[in-house]
Structure 1
Amino acid sequence: MKENKISDYLELKITQKMIDDYAEASKDFNPIHIDEEFASKSIFKTRIAHGMLTLSVIMECLYDLYSEKMLQNTLFEARLKNPVYSEEKIKIYIEEKSKEKINIVCKKHNGDEAVSASLLFK
């Protein structure tokens, strides 16, 4: 690993189908995620992705890159900063701070951070 290497690892759209599938798998049927009429009356004005759905996309990226190390003792910390809306594009950036620390930022299409996280290999 090169020190302070930053890469835009993944860009994708969080679709309503992904949200619905996650709701089914997690049994989290909160209407803010699946009911457009309900969500339109909320502070968000539309449906939002489950925070754990966004985190699971990040974890999949990390596992793709660091599968061997991910099986060791690791510490993952994350902050959900802004909601990801249904049908919104996100981009995941990964910064290798050192051999032991990875910083992750998930940005929305408008540049706002949705998630900031770090992964420590112990």
Structure 2
Amino acid sequence: MVVIMKTKLEIIITQKMIDDYAEASKDYNPIHIDEEFAKKSIFKSRIAHGMLTLSIVMEFIYKNFNKEWYNNSTLETRFKNPVYPNEKLIIEYDLNKLPNNKIIVKCHKENGDEILTTILVL
């Protein structure tokens, strides 16, 4: 495999971003917005919406591939770990010569924990 290009985005997910996403999506699940409720959960704290994280990844893809991917591609996504407020996410891809025009976009925490992996098929 020959790497042609690699690029990345680093972003901190704030509680305000989570609250704004809850408002925009009307997803008021208390695991995202109620600290007292979230403390009693398996996560022990509020977490970001998975779709908030994916929407940031989608914006990253759009900015890197413009409309090239939008009309004629598919995404396969797996969520692997929660995102907590004030965590830094790193989104990156390697543009490799992969079979079937596939590009792997990964989102992970600063400590290396994987958040999600998306396979973009152009």
Taking structure 1 as the reference length, the TM-score comes to 0.91
* Aligned-partner residue type, residue 71 of structure 1: Y
**1:95 has 2:94 as partner:** yes
**1:117 has 2:118 as partner:** yes
Give 1:93 shift. 1.3
Q: Secondary structure at the match of 1:7?
A: strand
Matches of 1:12 and 1:98 in 2, distance apart?
27
Matches of 2:10 and 2:17 in 1, distance apart?
15
Matches of 2:61 and 2:44 in 1, distance apart?
32
Give 1:106 shift. 0.5
Q: Within 5 Å, which residues of 2 pair with 1:1-122?
A: 3-5=2-4, 7-98=6-97, 100-121=101-122
Taking structure 2 as the reference length, the TM-score comes to 0.91
> Structure 1 regions of 5+ residues with no counterpart?
none
**Residues 75 and 81 (structure 1), Cα distance of their counterparts in 2 relative to 1, 3 Å cut:** same
> Structure 2 regions of 5+ residues with no counterpart?
none
Contact 1:15 1:86 in 2 (8 A): yes
Give 1:84 shift. 0.6
* Aligned-partner residue type, residue 107 of structure 1: H
Give 1:8 shift. 4.4
Superposition misfits of 4+ residues, deviation over 4 angstroms:
none
Identity in percent? 55
Q: Secondary structure at the match of 1:82?
A: coil
Measured on the aligned residues, the alpha-carbon RMSD in Å equals: 1.7
Give 1:98 shift. 2.9
Q: How many residues are matched?
A: 120
* Aligned-partner residue type, residue 117 of structure 2: S
* Aligned-partner residue type, residue 90 of structure 2: K
Matches of 1:57 and 1:71 in 2, distance apart?
15
